[in-house]
Amino acid sequence: MKGDQDWGVYYARLLTKAKERHQHKLKIRPKSDLLWFWKTLSFLLKMITFGKGPSLYDSFFTVIGRTIWLPGEGEGWEKSSWFYKYTVMSHEIDHLDYCYFGDSDIRDIDHNEVKDWKEKEAAWYWKFWYNFKYLFWPFPIFWAYGRQDIEIRGYRRNIEAHLHRNGRLGEGMKIFLYQQFASSNYLWMATPRRAEELIQTEIDAVKKAHAENKLRFG
């Protein structure tokens, strides 16, 4: 069990490492900075989801390129707990690492390992494939295995942090994850059955890693 200050330390370390690795091109900005773009995209998404999806502008953190966009004017962000900030950023940075370097996470690297951060970025076709896979592979909805794969890697970070902080995972976590995978939130990226299987498999894997003391933070 960890206090919020500990998560503040993890958060700072995570961000420092990520900025180094991404050659200080990583930016965090509120969506209100590019209002017309996010409002337009938000509107289009509402149309595609028949008005069901939550607002992309107000409710979601989104990565495009190396910018992590905060919902709305970012007003809630500063007031959030360190734990919350950590869970959000570890998820988003996971996407960044996967897109730009093709590996899933810098926190899996042992704390004592000296890492050469000047390693080469993935080739352009990998980044193209990542985005194509996220949006369309092999289908944009229900059987969106590409998006499922990328998002479950991100949500694994959320599961890990919750388990580490609380020592257990409640039903609420499963319900939350199910909503992400089987609802309009991510354009129905999985069928209900597939969503349940995917989430259970990931939860089991995280519990195993937790029991073996293999989880790393910060």
Query: Which positions touch Zn ion (CB under 5 A)?
Result: 151, 154
| Minimal CB distance residue for Zn ion | 154
- With a CB cutoff of 8 Å and minimum separation 6, the contacts of 117 are 20, 21
**Minimum CB distance to Zn ion, residue 90 (Å):** 11
Q: How far is CA 144 from CA 93, 129, 147, 205, in A?
A: 21, 14, 6, 22
**Minimum CB distance to Zn ion, residue 95 (Å):** 5
**Minimum CB distance to Zn ion, residue 3 (Å):** 27
**Minimum CB distance to Zn ion, residue 56 (Å):** 13
Among residues 59 and 117, whose Cβ is nearest to Zn ion? 59
Residue 64, CB-side half-sphere exposure with 13 Å CA sphere: 10
Q: Which two tokens stand for residue 213?
A: 């003391």
d(CA 14, CA 107): 8
